[in-house]
């Protein structure tokens, strides 16, 4: 194997490790019932699911790519879990292999 191929393999391993961490996070949230009790997740959780920074999530919301609802008491954005999972599946190709 060439050095470039080795680098590509390492990069893919890092992507897979991040995806596994996200899956573990989701499984723990499901076990605790948090996700399905409310069916909405906050900006930070959305960022973890999409493997982006929270400011990117807010930018996606401003651009209309995803729809967040503001919680009036706290002023926090909440996103529909179903919408985020669909967005991830349709727009982020490296996640498609996990669905």
Q: Which CATH architecture best describes the domain 3-98?
A: Orthogonal Bundle (1.10)
What pLDDT was estimated at residue 60?
A: 95
pLDDT-flagged residues of the chain (< 50): 95-96, 99
Contact 87, 54 (CB under 8 A): no
Q: How many CA atoms lie within 13 A of 41 on its CB side?
A: 25
What pLDDT was estimated at residue 11?
A: 93
26-53 tens-digit pLDDT: 767 766 665 555 588 899 999 998 989 9
What pLDDT was estimated at residue 7?
A: 93
**Domain residue ranges of the chain, discontinuous segments joined by +:** 3-98
What pLDDT was estimated at residue 99?
A: 45
């Amino acid at each position: 194997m060439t050095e470039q191929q080795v680098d590509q393999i390492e990069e893919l391993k890092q992507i897979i490790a991040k995806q596994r961490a996200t899956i573990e996070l989701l499984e723990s949230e499901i076990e605790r019932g948090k996700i399905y009790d409310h069916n909405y997740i906050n900006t930070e959780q959305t960022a973890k699911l999409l493997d982006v920074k929270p400011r990117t999530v807010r930018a996606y919301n401003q651009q209309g790519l995803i729809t967040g609802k503001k919680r009036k008491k706290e002023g926090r954005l909440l996103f529909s879990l179903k919408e985020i999972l669909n967005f991830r599946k349709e727009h982020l190709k490296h996640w498609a292999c996990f669905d």
